[in-house]
Structure 1
Amino acid sequence: MTILFVILALLGGVTGGFFTGHTRGRREQRAHDDLLEREARAEAERVLTQAEAEARQLRSQAEQTRLDAARRLQDAEDRERQAAASVDTGREELQTLRAQVEAERSRALAEAARERETLGLDRQETRRERDELKREIERLNRRAEQLDARGERLDALEERLEAQLRALAGQEAELGERARQIDLKLYEVAGLSPEAAREQILGQLDAELEEEKAIRVKAMESRASAEAKRTARSLIAQAIQRSASETSAQLSVSVVPIPNDAMKGRLIGREGRNIRAFEALTGVDLIIDDTPEAVILSSFNPVRREVARHVLEALVADGRIHPTRIEEMVTRAQDEMKTFMHAQGEEAAIEAGVVGLKPGLVQLLGRMYFRTSYGQNVLKHSVQVAHLTGIMADELGLDAGLARRAGLMHDVGKSIDREIEGTHVEIGINLAKRFGEPAEVIDAIAHHHDPENGETLYSVLVAAADAISAARPGARREELEAYVRRLEQLEQIAVAFPGVQQAYAIQAGREVRVIVQPEQVTDAGATLLAREIAGRVEQDMEYPGQVQVTVIRESRATGLAR
């Protein structure tokens, strides 16, 4: 029993130890399994996240691939449509060529048939002409025989006439000698040489005719002054000439300020590449000298100079100066300049009251904003001429709208006269015809400098308004040397005439007043002297507008009362 109890106790201990060890192992195994499960779950989540990211990337790539495929498909469809259009065009051209070839073939066949018919007719005509020619030859031979007989008679008559002419020549020489002897007798009796006698006779004749010429000139001027309306218009024009309006003088250079002198080096660029690119793209000379904080743009073309100024100011403000940037700025400035000129043309047309101008003409009008003539802005001058022409046309009962249109367009050729060959009148006529302007406008453009050759009254009105606008005080600017030289030439021309005591050029050279010696020049002679001086001024001088010559003759009688 004891042994049995010992064995049972040992078995119980072993079993308890086994169960205790087994339970502990199960707990450790469960913990290990949980750890592995958590690691597996974390790994699975990481793999799942990575898979989702790769899936999103694959979906994006697939979408991009789909878009590329759609774009390629669209390009292929466009090329297919273009190819189809090209095929259709080629078919149409082929059909046209076939039709032309067939027409040419038919025409050639018809011409060949006509030539065959004509050839048959020509043969018959040739036979008839041959027969007629034979008859004509026979007739001419008979006529030649008759002429030979008549020629013999004429030769005999010619000999008789020559004999008579020789006799007459001898008589004429004898009469000439007698006349010379008579003239010598007369010169001896008068005591004068032939030259002195001729001068004396011509002098007496001039003295007798001078008074009559003066009377005739005064009578003609009186008849001209009797035309009341014409005189009234002249007075209105003189009144308009005294009004001063705003003028604009554009020079051939533009000064552009820069922030500092270091900018000059950047404008020049490495080895001068920037300045060369700027001048090549704008067509304007960029002058960089010692002028502090400024550079100079020089060009005879004001449009190019204005574009270059905008480009240079934009480059200085931007700071990035290289050939590519300069090209971008030039393109942008040219587009902006076109818009600006179109706006100026529209504004001028509205101000002048002219409607219905085509966009091309409006653009050309805008270009005249940068064009000057003797310092006078051509666009403002054209607007002023339009106003004056409209007013005068309204007074005369003509179409004021058409007159304003002609006045506004009379100098349109000056917008491009520096770019193509020809005078501004010829260019303006071609432009007006191209844009379908009325015949009155074309006539005004063609004859606004010679209205006497114009076909309508509008050319006369435009010429008068042009002279008014250009001749008014302050309208045109000229250099001081040329101005003084013109005044001196006016006075010298007037003083060169006999009997002139003094001459004064006044009103900026628009008038010259001539004071004559009353004992040498009569009242009638003063009228002729004014006309002669005016003719000499027209012949020897170049001047804008017109010059009035006023001759002043004064006689004074003084008495002294004591």
Structure 2
Amino acid sequence: MMEVVVTAVVALIIGVVIGRYLLMLVFKQMETDARQKAERLIEDAKSDAEANKRSKILEAKEKYLKMKSDFDSDVAKRKNQLSVNENRLKQYENKLKQNEAKLKQKEAQLAKQSEQLKKQNTELEDRFNEVADQKQLAIKAKDEAEVLRQEQVSKLEKIANLKADEAREQLVEALQDEARTKASIHIKNIMEEAKLTATKEAKKTIITTIQRTAAEHAIENCVSVFNLENDDLKGKIIGREGRNIRALEASTGVEIIVDDTPEAIIISGFDPVRREIARVSLQRLVADGRIHPARIEEVVTKTRKSIEEEIVELGERTVIDLGIHGLHPELIKMVGRMRFRSSYGQNLLQHSREVAKLAASMASELGLNAKQAKRAGLLHDIGKVWPEEPEVPHAILGMNLAKKYGEHPDVCNAIGAHHDEVEMTTLISPIVQACDAISGSRPGARREMMESYIKRLKDLESMALSFKGVNKCYAMQAGRELRVMVDAENVTDTEASQLSFEVADKIEKEMQYPGQIKVTVIREMRSVNYAK
């Protein structure tokens, strides 16, 4: 029993020791776990703090950079504003300096003018005194002359035994007899001159009659009709006191005839390009509704440009239709201008196309170069559409133009030789000459009167343009009126009147024409400013 108790006590003691040891192990383990956990928490806290620190630093940097950028931009703006203000300040200073210089210059001029005026006043006073002295001398001399005259009359009366009235009557009778004698001689000379010039005057009468008979042919080639929707538009086209129609005629160089013809206006002019510009300009003005001189000049300028573009397009279309390639742009433009040119009443472009086709066919039949023949046929009359007045025949001028723009020598020779101005050196030349004759000689193709009529109108304009100070010149009313526009700054009213007389005198001396030609010189002063 004792042993059992002792064993139990020993076992209890051992169990207590073991349990305590185990408990200590558990406590140590718990302490280790707690320490590790605490260390982990500390590490986590440190990493979180580090992350927060970094994010705060980044935010602070971003705010700093943004503030710095805003500050820099603000500084740059202020610098720009300062530089602008400085430039303005400099400009103002320069203007002030310029104004001061101008004021000083004007003050100097005024001082100079004042001195000149003083000097002139002094000279005028001196001259006035001289004139007064001369007047007194003249009065004295007049009195002395009267006394001498009375003495001479008395002496003559004594010598001739005649009174002054009787001597005057005898002198008048002698002068009348002498005047009658001279008048009879003058009348006799006039009668003889009239007999000598009777044939010439008769020819002029016949020419006038022929021109009247040929009026229908001239109207066909020199008049265009512009149709209107109603007659109320005629008033707008004429404008107040005719200012619109005058501006239109001055800008286009044609005559606008507004008569009783219902819903129609007649455009008269020998240059078809001018008539077309006037017609299209009228069409645009009527469609727009704004018709006044400034608008008319603007529309005419735009229309002139569009017509030039149309001329180029027409030339390009013509050479494409004929299958001609590689033609110089200037020659293409001249081909387009043929559309608005007539030769003896025959349209020049139609005539040239016809000659080109005939020449190509004839060259093909003869086994020659048909392409060159076609080019020569199309270009054979380009000398007629040269804008300046030529000093050589149109065939020679056309040949020179073809050489200038790189055409083949055979083509150039055919152009120059189609009227025998130069020697033919290629077989294409007689072909083009023959085709030109075929196209021009077919029934109804040409009218000789129209060519001479247009040439006379061109000569009229060229003659007026040869005078100094003339800006523009237009032949109106089938050559019955010549309107000459002069530069108002270089030509005075007196000079304009003298210019009208000189132009009319030169026309009488150098030209042959039926009837009479009215020469009107227009001097217009314009002042233009712009409001900004």
TM-score range for the pair, normalised by the shorter chain length: 0.3 to 0.5
TM-score by length of 2: 0.42
